[in-house]
Amino acid sequence: MRIVTNEKLIRRNAKVGQIVGLISLLILGVGLVISLTHPEWGMITLSALIFGFLLSQIGLFFGNRWARRPRLDELLNQALKGLSREYTLYHYTTPAYHLLVGPAGIWVIVTKYQRGRITYHRGRWRQHGGPLLWYLRLFAQEGIGRPDLEIKAETEAVEKLLRKHLPEEDVPPVEALLVFTHPEVQLEAEEAPVPTLHLRDLKKFLKPRLKSRRLSPEQLQRIRAVLEGGEEGTSSEETDGQ
């Protein structure tokens, strides 16, 4: 399997997360000091605490996605290690964060690292966890959000890019997967609009589907040319595969 990664973007965003995190701690510290030394400055204290908290959430998002090791792209690399060399896994170089391309088709892979019990019921995603969940949302991870909207946006963006540069007959349907990476997550998402699975089950899920050959070598070459057109700061490597 060939892996193409935007290392420049990863380094930049990891640094942004660190800087924003430090600034948020500084602002929160200033707010705390003001609250102790000048109680009458209530509005200033409140503003500092709110602004510092918002910045901390931004720093948390960047840190979890770009700085925490192993990163999400590294986890996917390991999970899919051994795929045929006909397949290419793109990280942060296409309109989708993670994109798998090969003879069997194209898959957008949306990753989530949240823990606890994740359910999908009647069109709604929910993360269950009681008081621990509230603590994690404040200090360790953001909520699950709307994976369905993320998947729709990334899938449509990939299709739009391909249709812009290729004839319609060369653009295959873009499929999607929702993959949770935390080892302690419990999934109850049989009704989900796209396959939803744990990272450890990803290769097993894909294996029978990768046996088909829906795209010719010529189609794949044209698709890869579009996806890799002029992206700076990327690295390419190959893992063992047949």
Tens digits of residue pLDDT in 179-208: 999 998 999 999 999 999 999 999 999 999
Residue 95 lies in a domain: yes
Two structure tokens written together for 214: 């829906």
Residue 157 lies in a domain: yes
Q: 217 falls in which pLDDT band (50, 70, 90)?
A: very high
pLDDT of residue 12: 96
Residue 216 lies in a domain: yes
Residue 110 lies in a domain: yes
Residue 152 lies in a domain: yes
Residue 123 lies in a domain: yes
Residue 20 lies in a domain: no
pLDDT of residue 237: 75
Residue with tokens 């959430």: 57
Cβ atoms < 10 Å from Cβ of 50: 12
Q: In what order do the strands lie in the sheet with 88-91?
A: 196-198, 174-180, 105-112, 98-102, 88-91, 2-6, 234-238
Model pLDDT for residues 147-167, shown as the tens digit of each residue: 999 999 999 999 999 999 999
∠24-20-11 over CA atoms, to 5°? Answer: 155
Model pLDDT for residues 29-81, shown as the tens digit of each residue: 999 999 999 988 989 999 999 999 889 888 888 988 898 889 999 999 999 99
pLDDT of residue 165: 95
- How many separate helices (H) and strands (E) can be counted in the chain? 7, 10
Which amino acid, one-letter code, is at 162? L
Residue 232 pLDDT > 60: no
Residue 22 lies in a domain: no
Helix/strand/coil (H, E, C) string of 105-169? EEEEEEEECCCEEEEEECCEEEEECHHHHHHHHHHCCCCCCCHHHHHHHHHHHHHHHHHHHCCHH
Model pLDDT for residues 94-136, shown as the tens digit of each residue: 999 999 999 999 999 999 988 889 999 888 998 886 555 555 5
Domain count of the chain?
1
pLDDT of residue 116: 84
Q: Which residues lie below 8 Å from residue 66, measured CB to CB, with a gap of 6+? A: 10, 13, 14, 16, 17
Q: Which structural domain range is residue 87 located in?
A: 2-6+70-238
Q: 224 falls in which pLDDT band (50, 70, 90)?
A: very high
Average pLDDT over residues 209-237: 85
Whole-prediction pTM: 0.86
pLDDT of residue 132: 55
Of 91-95, 206-210, 214-218, 234-238, the one with minimum mean pLDDT is 234-238
